[in-house]
Amino acid sequence: MQTAFLDSSNIDKAAEYLKSGEVVAFPTETVYGLGADATNEEAVRKIFEAKGRPSDNPLIIHVASVKQMERYVESVPDVARKVISHFWPGPCTLVLNKKGPIASSVTGGMETIGVRMPSHPVALALIDKVGVPLAAPSANSSGKPSPTTALHVKRDLEGKIKAIVDGGATGVGLESTVLDLTDPQKPTILRPGGVTREELEAVLGHVWLDAHLSDDSAAPKSPGMKYKHYSPEKPVWVLPESLAEAKEILDQLEVEGENVGLLASEDWLKHLKTDRRKNCSLGDKNRPQQAAARLFSALRELDDEDISVILVEPYQKTGIGTAYMNRLEKAASRIL
Ligand code: TXA
Ligand code: MG
């Protein structure tokens, strides 16, 4: 299949493709999504095919308004209204009981559905034009880091999808928070993401974490969280928190003849940068949202370099650092 490259002035064309049952990649504020008409079984099946995604991993649907969402969920509890009024449009996916004519492969046989209203103007315009929700996972090949530019999508999916709408680099850089509200008394984060637990707690009071996020042996409630994910071809190792220990490890690896790719904050790079290493910056250590925005793109960049291993700086597991560490630990084969 020939993949068309569209810019954001060509949303009409993209909408036409989607209405005719094709899949189209489009930008959101988190990562690029691979969209299809969520009410069209055949169209949704093409998403799974293009990505090589396991069929037991449900998709989230993207809506352009709360009114549109209401057609596809059984009810909207007060707790959901609160989240919506503070964080929509934005990077927070709500899991609610489903209703209405959604293709069964979207939810993979579950009684619940994940729904979010993205804030990216291209995404909103596109959903609005198509007139139905778009089912969309991240637009990467299954297992690869999520795409934050149209070029990443092209690398993974060219020839397998109808079109890519280029809206520039995404802002948040990692995916939405998945928040389970099926028990309104117990809002539970299934996947940490763009809206932090702290931000949610400021609005809702206590917010639970799905057991698997703190206990490796617990089965995740979000099917997608059980898969190894986000991995480049090269092995990814997470450095220890201490700069001195990290330096020792890096130096030792190079004595042993490894070609090291280093992904770290400006603060760490000041101490750890050498000409031999491929260095890639995560930005200001005090601004973890920069690290979150750069992680996936930097992993892809280092993957293309002539190196044998990618070493990455850990961040504190608070605020957006929680989502950063969740993705990093999933990408990693070793935590040093
Ligand atoms: O930011 C994002 O969420 C991006 C952009 C494109 O919107 N999308 C995204 O989709 O990350 P995907 O399919 O890569 O991840 C969706 C996650 C998966 O872990 C999936 O298992 C979970 O949400 N999920 C979807 N529906 C669910 C449901 N009904 N119950 C529990 N988890 C669900
Ligand atoms: Mg994904």
Tokens of 334: 């070793």
Residue 274: CB atoms within 10 Å: 11
- For the chain, give the number of residues: 336
Return the closest-CA partner of residue 170 out of 213, 107, 122, 231: 122
- Ligand 1 pocket test, pick from 93, 134, 142, 180 with the greatest ligand atom count within 8 Å of Cβ, gives 93
Least distant ligand from the CA of 156: 2
pLDDT at 283 over 80: yes
> Within 6 Å (CB) of ligand 1, which residues are found?
28, 30-31, 33, 57-60, 91, 93, 95, 107, 110, 112-114, 118, 136-138, 175-176, 178, 190-191, 221-225
Residue 229's pLDDT band, with cuts at 50, 70 and 90, is low
- C-alpha distances in angstroms, 323 versus 304, 328, 329? 24, 8, 10
Give the bridge partners for 97, in sequence order: 112
pLDDT at 62 over 70: yes
Residue 220's pLDDT band, with cuts at 50, 70 and 90, is confident
By alpha-carbon position, which residue is closest to atom 20 of ligand 1? Answer: 224
42 DSSP assignment: H
**For 53-57, 92-96, 120-124, which range has the lowest pLDDT when averaged over its residues?**
53-57
User: Strand ranges (DSSP E) for 181-272?
Assistant: 188-191, 208-209, 236-238, 260-264
Whether residue 89 has a cis bond before it, omega within 30° of 0: yes
Is residue 83 within 8 Å of 156, Cβ to Cβ? no
What is residue 252's predicted lDDT score, i.e. its pLDDT? 95
Contacts of 88 (CB under 8 A, 6+ apart): 66, 116, 117, 119
pLDDT at 65 over 80: yes
Higher pLDDT, 216 or 195: 195
Q: In ligand 1, which atom is closest to the CA atom of 91?
A: 1
What is residue 110's predicted lDDT score, i.e. its pLDDT? 92
Least distant ligand from the CA of 32: 1
